[in-house]
Structure 1
Amino acid sequence: MPEEEVHGPIDYVLVEFTGNKLTGRAAEELVNLVERGIVHVYDVMVVGKDADGSTYMVDLAEASDQAGGFTDLSGARTGILAEDDLADVAGAMEPGTLAALIVYENTWAIPFVAAAMESGGQLVAGGRIPAQDVMDVLESLESLEPTT
């Protein structure tokens, strides 16, 4: 199967930030990954949750402190994320925070997926280990290493 017809794994992340504005640093790195061809962003939604629990969407087409650098990804709107996803996102958020919900394709994996499919392979299981869990385990393992 030609690589043009193959997709990499599609993931989503919900990243919550304290306060009511984004610094732009996370968005800058995401744009960098897109420019390097490592990921393709399908959708981005930035949601705010006030201290009283009310939620709102941040308009990424308007440059604002709340949108951070995600304004650079305002065109990433395929429709995978819809307005009704706002309630799900809000339910996962703490009051007084902003969150970015990002749906992206791991384009780096397309050659691997194509080769596996051409060889008769098929995905039978998959999963994701949260980055914080990995960092916690590695830190605990380092504390067990003998010091010299």
Structure 2
Amino acid sequence: MSIGPVEYLILGFPGNKFSGQIVPELAKLIDSGLIRIIDLTFISKDAAGEVTVVEYDAVEELAAFAGLDAEVGGILTDEDITYAASSLEPNSSAALLIWEDTWAGPFAAAVREADGVIVEGARIPRDIIEQAMGALADALD
């Protein structure tokens, strides 16, 4: 089975404010074929630092996630949950997602066919790229 690049993402929600507000935009990414959700889970850390895995149907705010077209389950491990929880402040929550960048699948296949390999790659944080783009715009003015 050919698979495009796979990414993981940990989305933090300070104050344990899970919300279904991101679901419509996530659904658009899925429905347009840009990504495929491989795994998705939610965790919560209480004031004492106790971590709990939260099920979709256990919290009303998460019900919207159950409607996503996703192949959820089996990839995220207890170690992944522990890792994600280690970066959470008390009284906060996180969504852990693993998705395939299906949009990049044909490019990834072409790279493999050309015997190419990824030497390095990373996401550039939004604030850094905004600052760089702003500086470039200022320099061009």
Tell me the TM-score range normalised by the shorter chain: 0.7 to 0.9
C-alpha deviation, 1:110, in angstroms = 0.6
**Residue 24 of structure 1 aligns to which amino acid in structure 2?**
G
User: Which runs of structure 2 are paired with 1:33-52 in the superposition (5 Å)?
Assistant: 33-52=29-48
C-alpha deviation, 1:52, in angstroms = 2.1
1:145 aligns with 2:141: no
1:59 aligns with 2:61: no
1:78 aligns with 2:84: no
**Residue 138 of structure 2 aligns to which amino acid in structure 1?**
E
Structure 2 residue corresponding to 1:28, chosen from 11, 24, 31: 24
Aligned pair count reads 141
Q: Distance in 2 between matches of 1:104 and 1:40?
A: 5
Q: Distance in 2 between matches of 1:85 and 1:122?
A: 26
Would you say the 8 A contact 2:30–2:37 is kept in 1? yes
Q: Distance in 2 between matches of 1:41 and 1:132?
A: 26
Q: Distance in 2 between matches of 1:78 and 1:58?
A: 14
**Residue 38 of structure 1 aligns to which amino acid in structure 2?**
L
Q: Deviations over 1:54-93 (max 9, x none)?
A: 111110144512x263233496333110234322111111
SS across alignment from 2:107 = helix
C-alpha deviation, 1:35, in angstroms = 1.0
Would you say the 8 A contact 1:60–1:74 is kept in 2? no
**Residue ranges of structure 1 left out of the alignment (5+ in a row):** none
Q: Which has the higher helix share?
A: 2
Q: Distance in 1 between matches of 2:125 and 2:13?
A: 17
Would you say the 8 A contact 1:23–1:68 is kept in 2? no
**Residue ranges of structure 2 left out of the alignment (5+ in a row):** none
Q: Distance in 2 between matches of 1:118 and 1:58?
A: 41
Q: In structure 2, do the counterparts of structure 1 residues 75 and 120 end up closer, same or farther at CA, with 3 Å as the change threshold?
A: closer
Q: What is the aligned-residue identity percentage?
A: 32
